Amino acid sequence: MKRLIITVLTITHHLWYTVINSQRERKGYMKNKRIKVFFTCLMLIFSVGMLGILLMLNGADKIKEADTVSLPVTIQHIKSDNSAGNDDFIIIDTYEYIDLFRVPIEFSDRLQSIGLKPGQKARLIIQKDDEEKLNEAFFVNVVGLSCDDEILISIDEYNRCVHESIVPTRIAAIAAAVGLLIGAVLMIRSLVKDKTTQHQL
């Protein structure tokens, strides 16, 4: 009888140990699963964001003349602006609009050689989408510029300039998107493997 009681107690002890250990393993598995799911979702969200940046950049260097409008303006000020992230642009202030017009800094030498002066008449080429935002947006990008019937900046030149400037961003966005997608796939594989292992226990 005593031996039977000891045997029963031993079996009971082993059962309790197995149950408790199983619960601990399950809690650890669930915690690990939640962390992996969180990071998988995070990587997928960021990869979609990178793809969005690529789509946004896709048309930045493919502006067509049909998508632009010409604005006759009178130059008030021309200056390089190092504030508010505008160190890559020349800022043109006009009497007709409260908006500040931005020209890529790559054209600074050309504009200086021409010698645009306050009070001088010019025509600024902007995108039609930006025309709707005039007097609402603080900055408007200039994609072409002419003065006295002389083209100082053509749309093709602007496209080439933008293309060269966004190449590093494109490469970085592609690399980031691919890396994040690979990471998400590996994390999903790990989740599937963990689930299979858990079912086998």
The domain that holds 110 is classified in CATH as 2.40.50.140
106 within domain boundaries: yes
- Rounded to two decimals, the pTM is 0.65
Residue 27: pLDDT band (50, 70, 90) is low
Q: Are 139 and 102 in contact (CB under 8 A)?
A: yes
- Name the CA radius of gyration of the chain, rounded: 32
Tell me what the mean pLDDT of segment 11-38 comes to.
54
pLDDT tens digits, residue range 156-170? 988 888 888 888 878
Residues 86 and 108 in one domain: yes
Residues 77 and 119 in one domain: yes
Residues 53 and 69 in one domain: no
| Average pLDDT of the residues of the chain | 75
Residues 9 and 48 in one domain: yes
Residues 47 and 74 in one domain: no
Residues 138 and 79 in one domain: yes
- The total number of structural domains in the chain stands at 2
Residues 52 and 80 in one domain: no
- Domain encompassing residue 70: 65-142
The pLDDT value recorded for residue 199 is: 59
Is the Cα dihedral 120, 121, 125, 130 positive or negative? Answer: positive
Residues 55 and 121 in one domain: no
Helix (H) / strand (E) containing 145: strand 144-147
